[in-house]
Amino acid sequence: MSIVRQLFVVALAAIVLAGGWVYLGPLLGFGEEAGGKSGGGKKSPAAVVVADVSFVRERLRTEAVGTARAYQSARLHPVADGRVIATALRTDGNVSQGQVLLELDHKTETLAVELARVRLEAAQRVAERLTKLRKSGASTQAALDDAVTAVDAAKIELERAQLALEDRFLLAPFSGRIGMTDIEVGDRVDTGTEIAVLDDRSSLLVRFEVPEGMLGRIGVGSPVKLALWTGDTAPIEGGSIYDIDSRIDEATRTFVVRARIPNPDDRLRPGMSFRVTLDVEGETRASVPEVAIQWGGDGSFVWAVSGGTARRLPVSIVQRQEATVLLDAEFAEGDKVVTHGLHRMREGTKVEILPGNGPAQPPIKAEQEATTS
């Protein structure tokens, strides 16, 4: 290479370096001292890119696995021993409250009722006759008192006989559907025999566990999102918290919550598993781009800018979401945070904000997830 060409290349490289120094020097912090001397001892403002500080409500999310049970459920047992003479039990059959589901042999109990009624009528006739005789003085007060006592005793015997007769019939305690049963006419049953399970499936109660950090943030009636784990995973509408346990489990650090969901079309069944999602809004927090967070010996901080001056502001990170974070910090109204040019920041540094406010930030999705099962 000739000397002329070498000189040409050196000159071209010097021009490129000089141009880069002039354009990038203020942004990268080079030449600050020289600039200060040439400007009569004044430092030039630091060129930085900033982002606005927004304030959003913290959203806490809990996801759990829940198991459903019927809103009302009862295991049916007969009140008395005996032989089955009639039954209305049909697997998955619909029954109404008060409907007779099972009838035991009741000949003896029916006769006992008739006998008690006859004795009551006889005691009442004696009492009526002695009352008339007492008015005429032909009977003593003691005899009348004994007759009245006999009437009262006969009423009690009749009521007892009627209760024994009622116990020969098993009635539905509420409306619902009968589960599978093996009871047939002619079977002998006793009070320990399970006849069937009756479920009110008009709505279901879904039991799940929630971390103790959610205590006090949710209440009865709060909405809850539910979806089946298998099959149709579409959200189930209308779910809300039905009740909340009063204790925290020491082993799991969770407490039990039950949600109630409507089941008008009867497509849901007790025992099904559900994906439960519970979103709760928390306190209002400052939201800034994650690139604005700096770390020092005393923890995390940001460089906040107001009035053209930067200040170091300690912060505590509450949540991280994508490219943004929610902070616990004392921001002033109108504050901005430095996202580029951080290496030039010092307490009280004057800043020159470059146009455009830096790259666009993705939308803030402030959610914190905690999964239990």
> Do residues 290 and 226 both lie within one domain?
no
Q: How many CB atoms lie within 10 A of CB 25?
A: 16
Q: What confidence score (pLDDT) does residue 35 get?
A: 38
> Which residues is 81 bridged to in the sheet?
none
> Do residues 162 and 263 both lie within one domain?
no
> Do residues 323 and 275 both lie within one domain?
no
Distance from the first to the final alpha carbon of the chain = 76
The domain spanning residue 98 has which CATH number?
1.10.287.470
User: Does residue 83 belong to any structural domain of this protein?
Assistant: yes
User: Does residue 19 belong to any structural domain of this protein?
Assistant: no
The domain spanning residue 231 has which CATH number?
2.40.30.170
Residue 48 exposure: Cα atoms within 13 Å on the Cβ side: 28
Look at residue 331 and give its three-state secondary structure: coil
User: Does residue 114 belong to any structural domain of this protein?
Assistant: yes
pTM, two decimal places:
0.63
Residues 6+ apart with CB under 8 A from 294: 300, 301, 302, 303, 342
What's the rounded Cα separation, in Å, for the pair 223 and 240?
4
What's the rounded Cα separation, in Å, for the pair 136 and 4?
159
> Do residues 165 and 212 both lie within one domain?
no
> Do residues 326 and 253 both lie within one domain?
no
Residues 6+ apart with CB under 8 A from 373: 64, 65, 209
Q: How many CB atoms lie within 10 A of CB 209?
A: 20
> Which residues is 280 bridged to in the sheet?
60
> Do residues 182 and 109 both lie within one domain?
yes
Q: What confidence score (pLDDT) does residue 138 get?
A: 81
Q: How many CB atoms lie within 10 A of CB 218?
A: 18
Q: What confidence score (pLDDT) does residue 5 get?
A: 66
Give residue 307's region: left, alpha or beta (phi > 0; psi -120 to 50): left
Q: What are the φ/ψ torsions at residue 327 (nearest 5 degrees)?
A: -125, 150
> Which residues is 340 bridged to in the sheet?
49
Q: What confidence score (pLDDT) does residue 120 get?
A: 95
What's the rounded Cα separation, in Å, for the pair 233 and 210?
22
> Do residues 227 and 149 both lie within one domain?
no
Q: What confidence score (pLDDT) does residue 81 get?
A: 94
According to DSSP, residue 322 is labeled T
* Residue after which a domain boundary falls, among 235, 262, 281: 281
> Do residues 171 and 92 both lie within one domain?
yes
The domain spanning residue 348 has which CATH number?
2.40.420.20
> Do residues 352 and 253 both lie within one domain?
no
* Residue after which a domain boundary falls, among 133, 158, 189: 189
Number of domains into which the chain is organized: 3
Residue 172 CA: distances (Å) to CA of 67, 78, 167 = 26, 11, 13
- Do residues 185 and 109 lie in contact, with contact meaning Cβ atoms separated by under 8 Å? no
- Domain with 229 in it: 62-72+203-281
For the chain, 373 residues long, give each residue's pLDDT as a single digit of tens.
Answer: 556 566 556 666 666 565 554 445 544 444 444 333 434 445 688 888 888 888 877 777 889 999 999 999 999 999 999 999 999 999 999 999 999 999 999 999 999 999 999 999 999 999 999 988 888 878 788 888 889 999 999 999 999 999 999 999 999 999 999 999 999 999 999 999 999 999 999 999 999 999 998 888 888 999 999 999 886 678 888 999 999 999 999 999 999 999 999 999 999 999 999 999 988 877 788 888 988 889 888 889 998 888 888 889 899 888 887 778 888 888 877 888 988 888 888 888 888 888 754 444 443 333 333 444 3
Q: What confidence score (pLDDT) does residue 42 get?
A: 53
- Continuous H helices in 61-106: none
Q: Which residue's entry shows tokens 């006769």? A: 111
> Do residues 68 and 210 both lie within one domain?
yes
> Do residues 229 and 326 both lie within one domain?
no
- Do residues 159 and 97 lie in contact, with contact meaning Cβ atoms separated by under 8 Å? no
Q: What confidence score (pLDDT) does residue 20 get?
A: 54
For 231, the token pair is: 């099959």
Q: What confidence score (pLDDT) does residue 186 get?
A: 93
